Chain A
């Protein structure tokens, strides 16, 4: 009895990343307070009008807190004077500056190469791992499960150090592909977690029916299980992609000469202070990740709507 509980506790901690995709509640029971969702509020604060309570003001401030830095970056990217806080007028100059910067594009290409390769390989490894862990009981399963959580638990800096030291110890020369190898470690762990939450609420009967009707296990896997897992795999891949594109530490420890990724390039530019072209880059990346987040949520929404 202790085992599933422990697993749940674990998942509660670790799953937070999935951009809440998977932690978000599945179909909300709309029935508990059909007429007044604010019922408990009215009970607890009978003297207050619920609309503008101090709680909602505080929450509003926290939303401002979350978005202020992003807003600042975007606004500054259009500011003519890059180095002062005051508004000196509108300009596209920094964007032009950025678009003519070959180093940024080289770094972007490296980052995309790393992220796409790592995610592609991890999608296969992570999905297989999630299915294997969900479908089979075998000696050492608990240990395997523990190891599969390690990439999410051990701090990035320690993973980075360990990978670098190990690669040096076996005499493997660093390149772009050593970053890919290191990224697969955490990408597959995240994909496996997202896929396994999806696996947990799948209908096993479909797969068994396929087997009973004469499908081979391989056929059942590809034609019955995999299509059902797809939404989980896709959102796991998106998460892994974002994490891989975002990783600075592991990449900078495992990168070979010339294999500079985008976060490494950004880091080397901003550690000396505020840079206007980095502001422009931020604005572009923010729009891009906004779109990505939207796509991810759309995928989740659709898959949930289908399930109902």
Chain B
């Protein structure tokens, strides 16, 4: 950060000279520590894994010579491509589930619940976020395993038990459970700003509740829906704990594959780095879409 020379010669403005000096001192003093930290431990490391991703068959301790995109091509081999596609499918499924489960909750709390209970209800709904995510996922093992809570309950009603654990549906349940509160928070903050007079006007003018919902509520909530969906999509795309604990061998995802390249039996840091870059790229695309969308929806108003 270069300090520009203060404009000094004006006789009657020692004040502005001081202001210039303190200004740059202020900027540097306030922003340099955090900036350096992020640069050193986030930006630089990301560049380093990008470099490493271009080194095929690297082992810890090898000399790093970037020499090709084999690692990226390897991600396109049928087995690995299947993993990538499964991750995408799971993330899209989770997003969809969170949206259809979360929207009624956010709508009810924001518009239908008694005014003074709203904050408390919202707090109550997202309170589980304060507990360990690992343990919340672990609880689903106890619920979904063959002799677990779910099958005991089904047994009482007389329905044959389901074998969900260690299959992709269990991952879907776990991830939806983990990320639903985020979706509700974002949808709430967008529905809460909804113009109620429009709803009333629509009803007055003879629209059915369903018409009002699709023509008034949904369009107004669209930025929130987009933001919430993309957030849940991004988070579930990179999720490791739910697929690892609930998915078993049949639901390998990108995050698990990356994990195995570093902490698994047969490490391959180059391939792992390439997969991480793919993940970062996918997330960046999603964010870019959101920003583009967010801007266009804002300018419409």
Taking Cβ atoms with an 8 Å cutoff, the residues of A that contact B are: 2, 5-6, 8-10, 12-14, 16-17, 19-20, 23-25, 28, 30, 32-33, 37-41, 43-45, 50, 53, 55-56, 58-59, 62-63, 65-70, 72-73, 76, 83-86, 124-126, 128-129, 131-133, 135-136, 138, 144, 147-148, 150-151, 153-159, 161-166, 168-169, 181-182, 184-185, 188-189, 192, 217, 242, 245-246, 248-249, 252-253, 263, 266-267, 270-271, 273-274, 278-279, 281-282, 285-286, 289-290, 292-293, 297
Contacts and interface: CB of A to CB of B under 8 A. Distances in A.
B126 A19 contact: yes
A185 B42 contact: yes
B7 interface: no
A32 B42 CA distance: 47
Given A128-B31, A156-B238, A86 B152 contact: yes
A292 B131 CA distance: 10
Closest 3 CB pairs of A and B: A155-B238, A9-B294, A132-B30
A78 B273 CA distance: 44
A170 to B, nearest CB: 9
B186 A293 contact: no
Given A153-B234, A253-B263, A55 B112 contact: yes
Given A6-B294, A13-B231, A16-B182, A135 B26 contact: yes
Nearest to A121: B37
B245 to A, nearest CB: 6
Interface in B4-30: 22-23, 26-27, 29-30
A245 B114 CA distance: 35
Contacts of A285: 131-132, 135
Given A5-B298, A246-B134, A290-B130, A72 B182 contact: no
Nearest to A178: B41
9 contacts: A41-B112, A43-B204, A56-B112, A86-B152, A129-B30, A155-B279, A158-B279, A162-B42, A279-B142
A207 B231 CA distance: 36
B112 A242 contact: no
Given A147-B42, A157-B240, A161-B258, A59 B104 contact: yes
A164 B35 contact: no
Given A45-B209, A147-B35, A159 B26 contact: no
Interface size class of B (residues with CB under 8 A): 35 or more
A242 B130 contact: yes
B34 interface: yes
Nearest to B277: A158
B96 interface: no
Interface string B280-301: 1001100100110011001100
B101 A246 contact: no
B258 A165 contact: no
Contacts of A6: 291, 294-295
B109 interface: yes
Given A169-B48, A289-B130, A290-B130, A270 B38 contact: no
A125 B283 contact: no
B249 interface: no
B131 A289 contact: yes
A66 B42 contact: no
Given A73-B135, A73-B139, A148-B38, A162 B276 contact: yes
Contact of B139 (A70, A252, A266): A70
Contact of B122 (A24, A30, A68, A138): A24
B224 interface: yes
Contact of B45 (A73, A166, A245): A166
Given A155-B234, A157-B258, 5 more contacts: A12-B227, A84-B147, A131-B30, A147-B43, A266-B135
B251 to A, nearest CB: 14
Nearest to A281: B135
